């Protein structure tokens, strides 16, 4: 974490706190919030510099994707399908060509 990074991990880390929501992590490289759901050895052994970057912040659920943004889109689309009435407004701002 740096001075320019919001300490959002605090919303996930405190084991004493009963969160009123489920948490979902989306990751592609081992360092994202939620990737610690995976065994440390997987990140350490299979990700470049994995032992240095491995996340220690778990989430209730984890979406692993080749590109984190694509995993986020998958979550968005699943949400849209769950609420078809909102699909058009949720999907109008997705521009895949911008996230390559």
Q: Is 8 exposed, middle or buried (0-12, 13-18, 19+ CB in 10 A)?
A: exposed
Question: Could you give the number of structural domains in the chain?
Answer: 1
Name the residue range of residue 65's domain: 22-99
pLDDT tens track for 63-85: 999 999 999 999 998 888 887 76
The C-alpha atoms of residue 17 and residue 88 are separated, in whole angstroms, by: 36
pLDDT tens track for 2-22: 678 888 878 777 777 787 888
Residue 3 lies inside a defined structural domain of this protein: no
Residue 7 lies inside a defined structural domain of this protein: no
* Distance set, CA 82 to CA 57, 67, 77, 78, 95 (Å): 28, 23, 8, 6, 21
Residue 59 lies inside a defined structural domain of this protein: yes
Residue 46 lies inside a defined structural domain of this protein: yes
pLDDT tens track for 21-55: 888 999 999 899 889 899 999 999 999 999 999 98
């Amino acid at each position: 974490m740096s001075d320019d990074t919001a300490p959002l991990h605090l919303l996930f880390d405190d084991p004493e706190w009963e969160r009123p929501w489920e948490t979902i992590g989306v990751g592609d490289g081992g360092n994202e919030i939620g990737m610690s759901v995976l065994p440390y050895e997987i990140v350490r052994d299979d990700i470049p510099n994995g032992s240095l970057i491995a996340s220690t912040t778990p989430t209730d659920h984890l979406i692993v994707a080749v590109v984190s943004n694509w995993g986020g889109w998958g979550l968005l689309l699943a949400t849209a399908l769950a609420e078809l009435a909102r699909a058009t407004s949720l999907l109008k701002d997705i521009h895949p060509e911008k996230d390559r």
